[in-house]
């Protein structure tokens, strides 16, 4: 075969290599000199990244807004190699093997832990402020002191990474026992890993707007939130806030952000139940960036469109009585890249059957106008025979980290806690559920969990402030 390939022009060889999955590509690079000669061409690795993202639906340690043409050959090769090794490890017959683990004390009274995808950096909010930790070195590399009254908002686990080398998380300036006074754009700059910085941009005063707030959004242009009666938006480097009254019924729900592409936003809420079962309400604010000079009056119908997605009946093998109407209201996992075919993940645990739960992957399609299309397909449901007490979602939406109680065996009344990785493969025909070996970590003491699926990175926090990081990727 190699002799026949040798006579083909280089551009045709690159086109052929484009259709190889990553395992076959690396196999040919090691055995076929003709293909090996292509490794010095950036196009080969850009094609590999394209296939990983669009065909194999696997996340890469690259920012979603990253211009691939601007990356060096070395950066492209490293990204593909990390993804290839992670795929091999996560789906090996023997089970995922940790590449490295670390454990350190990250602070007291920690409220939130947020992984910055593809960086081995994590933001930690504790009683003393917000800090950034390098998980490879177990060192704090940047911090914002608490005396600034700056905190991360509860939905802030969604990270905006529209600017290369930077991550944006929305926060607030909120004195103790008072309303939010200002929105805060918290910027993490990791362009120079030897000098990581945390900075903050403060919005004009928003304390005169009615509360409670319901959901928030962030992009490189600005940040905002929606309350039960107002939409508030602040464009960076302006001295005024856009305040738009509204009376939209879906804005009365509790909603969490899913960030889609550049400047497009989806907000997903628990829509309650119908005769058919649980529902999700989706609010699309993607038109907000098309409007909004500070003095402009916005009509709500210009910027807010809604749809409702209903979950079909679940077919449990042995359905409990009253399956619907007894479930715990689900946490809606915010995603950063619905272009992987999933716009949200819901984890349900049933109150009257604590040994039953399910994880729902809500699918999406990309329409002709590059907008997200919902409702064409029913959600994919993973039915589980044990209770899930925490569900963390990676930035691709194809992987979910489940922390829960293990199955009760025989007459034993105690169940063993477990940590597992749930994967929705590209064919979406079945799930891959794999328990993770975490050594001697006491999972019963874990209070927070986070996942960076671009690096196979699991972050756990216990009640004493000990942060444990386990990586399954070889860098």
More reliable by pLDDT, 57 or 283: 57
Mean pLDDT of 60-86: 87
pLDDT at 198 over 90: yes
pLDDT at 300: 37
In percent, how much of the chain has pLDDT > 70? 66
Mean pLDDT of 41-62: 89
pLDDT at 4: 61
User: Which of the residue ranges 115-119, 181-185, 291-295 would you say has the lowest mean pLDDT?
Assistant: 291-295
Mean pLDDT of 357-362: 80
Closest CA to 343 of 290, 415, 265: 265
Confidence of residue 298 (pLDDT cuts 50, 70, 90): very low
CA distances from 209 to 177, 182, 414, 423 (A): 16, 11, 50, 42
pLDDT at 336 over 70: no
Mean pLDDT of 316-337: 47
Contacts of 88 (CB under 8 A, 6+ apart): 23
pLDDT at 83 over 90: yes
Confidence of residue 376 (pLDDT cuts 50, 70, 90): low
pLDDT at 475 over 60: yes
Q: How many CA atoms lie within 13 A of 97 on its CB side?
A: 8
Confidence of residue 111 (pLDDT cuts 50, 70, 90): confident
Query: Mean pLDDT across the chain, nearest whole number?
Result: 74
3-class state of residue 354 by DSSP: strand
Confidence of residue 81 (pLDDT cuts 50, 70, 90): very high
DSSP secondary structure code for residue 192 in this structure:
S
Distance, CA of 330 to CA of 389 (rounded, Å): 11
pLDDT at 327: 47
pLDDT at 330: 47
Q: Do 113 and 123 meet the contact criterion of CB atoms below 8 Å apart?
A: yes
CA distances from 335 to 5, 159, 260, 349, 351 (A): 42, 9, 8, 21, 26
Q: Do 420 and 436 meet the contact criterion of CB atoms below 8 Å apart?
A: yes
pLDDT at 3 over 50: yes
pLDDT at 213 over 80: no
Distance, CA of 364 to CA of 339 (rounded, Å): 8
Top mean pLDDT of 127-136, 277-286, 337-346, 402-411 is at 127-136
The pTM of the full predicted model, rounded to 2 decimals, is: 0.82
Write out the H or E segment, with its range, that includes residue 185: strand 182-189
Q: Give strand pairing partners of 198.
A: 188
DSSP labels, 379-421: PEEEEESS-EEEEEE-TTSSEEEEEEEPPPPTT-----EEEEE
pLDDT at 465: 93
pLDDT at 135: 96
Residue corresponding to tokens 């729902």: 360
pLDDT at 29: 82
pLDDT at 307 over 80: no
pLDDT at 230 over 60: yes
What residues does each domain of the chain span? 2-90, 149-310
Q: Do 323 and 314 meet the contact criterion of CB atoms below 8 Å apart?
A: yes
Expressed in percent and rounded to 5, the helix, strand and coil fractions of the chain are 20, 40, 45
3-class state of residue 358 by DSSP: strand
Mean pLDDT of 56-85: 88
Helix axes 10-17, 42-54, angle to 10 degrees: 20
Mean pLDDT of 448-465: 93
Mean pLDDT of 459-471: 94
Confidence of residue 24 (pLDDT cuts 50, 70, 90): confident
pLDDT at 284: 54
Contacts of 361 (CB under 8 A, 6+ apart): 342, 345, 379, 380, 381, 382, 397, 424, 428
More reliable by pLDDT, 299 or 10: 10
pLDDT at 22 over 80: yes
């Amino acid at each position: 075969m190699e002799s026949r390939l040798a006579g083909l022009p280089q551009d045709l060889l690159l086109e052929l290599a484009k259709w190889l999955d990553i395992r076959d590509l690396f196999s040919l690079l090691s055995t076929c000199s003709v293909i090996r000669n292509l490794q010095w061409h950036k196009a080969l690795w850009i094609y590999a990244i394209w296939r990983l993202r669009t065909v194999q639906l696997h996340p890469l340690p690259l920012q979603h807004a990253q211009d691939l043409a601007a990356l060096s050959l070395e950066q492209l090769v490293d990204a593909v190699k990390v993804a290839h090794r992670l795929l091999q490890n996560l789906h090996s017959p023997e089970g995922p093997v940790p590449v490295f683990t670390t454990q350190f004390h990250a602070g007291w009274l920690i409220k939130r832990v947020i992984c910055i995808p593809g960086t081995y950096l994590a933001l930690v909010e504790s009683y003393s402020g917000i800090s950034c930790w390098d998980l490879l070195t177990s060192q704090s590399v940047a911090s914002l002191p608490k005396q600034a009254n700056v905190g991360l908002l509860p939905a802030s686990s969604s990270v905006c990474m529209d600017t290369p080398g930077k991550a944006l998380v929305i926060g607030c300036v909120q004195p103790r026992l008072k309303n939010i006074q200002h929105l805060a754009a918290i910027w993490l700059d990791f362009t120079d890993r030897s000098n990581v910085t945390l900075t903050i941009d403060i919005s004009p005063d928003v304390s005169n707007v009615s509360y409670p707030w319901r959901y928030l959004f962030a992009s490189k242009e600005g940040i905002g939130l929606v309350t039960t009666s107002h939409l508030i938006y602040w464009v960076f480097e302006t001295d005024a806030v856009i305040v738009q009254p509204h009376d939209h019924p879906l804005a009365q729900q509790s909603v969490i952000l899913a960030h889609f592409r550049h400047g497009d936003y989806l907000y997903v809420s628990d829509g309650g139940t119908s005769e058919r079962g649980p529902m999700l309400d989706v609010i699309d604010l993607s038109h907000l960036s098309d409007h909004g000079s500070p003095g402009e009056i916005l009509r709500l119908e210009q910027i807010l469109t809604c749809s409702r997605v209903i979950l079909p009946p679940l077919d449990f093998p042995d359905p409990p009585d009253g399956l619907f109407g007894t479930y715990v209201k689900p946490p809606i996992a915010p995603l950063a890249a619905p272009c992987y075919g999933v716009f949200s993940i819901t984890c349900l645990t049933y109150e009257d059957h604590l040994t039953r739960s399910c994880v729902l992957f809500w699918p999406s399609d990309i329409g002709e106008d590059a907008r997200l299309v919902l409702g064409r397909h029913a959600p994919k449901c993973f039915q589980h025979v044990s209770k899930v007490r925490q569900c963390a979602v990676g930035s691709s939406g194809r992987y979910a980290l489940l922390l829960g109680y293990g199955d009760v065996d025989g007459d034993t009344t105690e169940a063993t806690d477990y940590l597992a990785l749930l994967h929705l493969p590209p064919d979406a025909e079945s799930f891959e559920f794999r328990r993770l070996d975490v050594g001697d970590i006491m999972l019963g003491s874990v209070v927070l969990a986070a996942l960076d699926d671009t690096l196979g990175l699991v972050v756990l926090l216990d009640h004493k402030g000990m942060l444990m990081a386990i990586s399954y990727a070889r860098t």
